[in-house]
């Protein structure tokens, strides 16, 4: 079998000889560089080329909008079942997005000292957040998430010309949303 100079890797062999690197060392170095390249590519945000990533504020707004729509849909469904209400439409306004409550651990110290003109107390509290994970994957431990508060609600229903229906719709909305009557408006749907 005859070898030609172009297929025996002569250029690579000359380069390795010039750098004084054996073939095994070259393979190890190549594998290491390939591993580094793969790590760099996996760290690219989005994972797909041309894909748009949402900023934190946009993601929160999308979640808030979904939450509003779901709450409006469920409230309209329950209010339309109120006797005499008929077709019902609901619009909610929320204060802000969900708020996570993180776990903390710490200690409190209380001491009392007597002064000539009276007693003096001092309090000292130290708190640290509970962190899960290591390195770049650290996250705080979330105990619970507070849902957004309802700022106001507008309710339109066919039967709102009756004071009894309007009162029933108002009481139902107050009970479901946990807000006062001053934040609820009930009007007749045209």
pLDDT-derived band at 45 (thresholds 50, 70, 90) equals low
| Phi, psi at 172, each rounded to 5° | -65, -45
pLDDT of residue 49: 43
- Which residue did the predictor score with more confidence, 78 or 147? 78
Integer-rounded Cα radius of gyration of the chain:
33
Place of tokens 């002569």: 10
Question: Is the model more confident about 181 or about 38?
Answer: 181
Query: What pairs with residue 152 in β-bridges?
Result: 93
pLDDT at 139: 77
What are the start and end residues of each CATH 3.30.300.30 domain in the chain? 56-98+147-188
What is d(CA 73, CA 143) in angstroms, rounded to the nearest whole number? 28
Q: Which of 50-54, 76-80, 85-89 has the lowest mean pLDDT?
A: 50-54
Pick the CATH number of 56-98+147-188 from 2.120.10.30, 3.30.300.30, 3.30.1440.10, 3.40.1710.10: 3.30.300.30
Q: What is the average pLDDT score of the chain?
A: 77
């Amino acid at each position: 079998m005859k070898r030609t100079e172009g297929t025996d890797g002569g250029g690579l062999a000359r380069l390795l000889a010039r750098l004084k690197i054996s073939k095994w060392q070259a393979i190890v170095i190549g594998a290491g560089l390939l591993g580094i390249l793969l790590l760099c590519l996996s760290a690219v945000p989005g994972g797909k080329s041309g894909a748009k990533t949402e900023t934190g504020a946009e993601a929160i707004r999308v979640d808030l909008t979904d939450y509003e729509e779901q709450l409006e849909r469920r409230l309209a469904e329950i209010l339309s079942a109120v006797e005499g209400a008929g077709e019902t439409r609901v619009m909610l306004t929320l204060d802000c997005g969900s708020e996570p409550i993180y776990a903390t651990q710490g200690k409190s110290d209380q001491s009392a000292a007597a002064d000539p003109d009276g007693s003096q107390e001092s309090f000292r509290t130290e708190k640290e957040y509970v962190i899960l994970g290591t390195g770049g994957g650290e996250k705080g431990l979330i105990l619970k998430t507070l849902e957004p508060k309802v700022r106001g609600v507008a309710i339109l229903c066919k039967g709102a010309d009756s004071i009894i229906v309007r009162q029933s719709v108002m009481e139902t909305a107050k009970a479901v949303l946990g807000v006062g009557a001053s934040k609820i408006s009930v009007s007749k749907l045209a």
